[in-house]
Homo-oligomer: A and B are copies of this chain.
Amino acid sequence: MSGIRAQQKEKTRRQLIDAALGQLSSEKSFSSLSLREVAKEAGLAPTSFYRHFTDMDELGLTLVDEAGLTLRQLMRQARQRIEKGGSVIQISVITFMEFIENNGNIFRLLLRERSGTSPAFRAAVNREIRYFTMELCDYLQQANQLDAEVAYLQANAAVTIVFSAGSDALDIDAKDYGQLANQTIQQLRFIAKGATEFNGRVDLLKR
């Protein structure tokens, strides 16, 4: 039961995942990636792919999971920074922009598959974003004493704004990051202000 076989299999599986991730770029999306390309990049015969995934879709969903994981690590990182003092909004945006710089292709994967043609992919990406939103929602509710509903609306709007800024960041060059970040920070302040003002006046929200 040494598992020398299972071990090797796991290793090859990783090679496939890494090969797929490695081929993603601004010009190449996951959906335009072929089974053969991935297998070749991983140093495998095309048919060997099937020993690990039934489908390119199955591989893709695995990638989305990885991306979600990376995103959650990012949040932990942001929280650590915040605990050491500093503006929540500012630190969050800066951390997110760093994420884009270092993981552009992973972020592109999420953006693209969110509006892609596979319902399973869309659901997977939306699930990851929902986790992301929910954690922010809890934080806001606790830190700012907000009503559950107001906190959710703020968290949801903030995540939308930040993701959109991330999307913009992918297409501009590094010298403009600062300006984009500042604009985003200010927009998040608008939202935070609005949320605070409307808090306790939830009666204004029609059902």
B182 touches A190 (CB 8 A): no
Interface centre among A29, A115, A153, A187 (most CB of B within 10 A): A115
Binds B, one of A11-19, A91-99, A194-202: A194-202
B122 touches A190 (CB 8 A): no
- Report the minimal beta-carbon distance from A140 to chain B, rounded to whole angstroms: 12
B171 touches A160 (CB 8 A): no
Cβ of A187: which chain B residues have Cβ within 8 Å of it?
153, 156-157, 191
Contact indicator per residue, chain A 167-185, by CB within 8 Å of chain B (1) or not (0)? 1000100000001001100
A55 within 8 A of B: no
Q: Please, which residue of chain B has its CB at the minimum distance from the CB of A90? A: B206
Interface residues of A in 112-134 (CB under 8 A from B): 112, 114-117, 119, 122, 126
A29 touches B116 (CB 8 A): yes
A117 touches B198 (CB 8 A): no
Question: A115 vs B115: C-alpha distance in the bound complex, in angstroms?
Answer: 9
- Report the minimal beta-carbon distance from A30 to chain B, rounded to whole angstroms: 10
Whether A207 touches B190, Cβ cut-off 8 Å, given contacts A26-B117, A115-B112, is no
Candidates B32, B154, B190; contact of A31 at CB < 8 Å: B32
Cβ of A122: which chain B residues have Cβ within 8 Å of it?
171
- Report the minimal beta-carbon distance from A167 to chain B, rounded to whole angstroms: 6
Residues of A within 8 A of B (CB): 26-29, 31-32, 108, 111-112, 114-117, 119, 122, 126, 153-154, 156-157, 160-161, 164, 167, 171, 179, 182-183, 186-187, 189-195, 197-198, 204-207
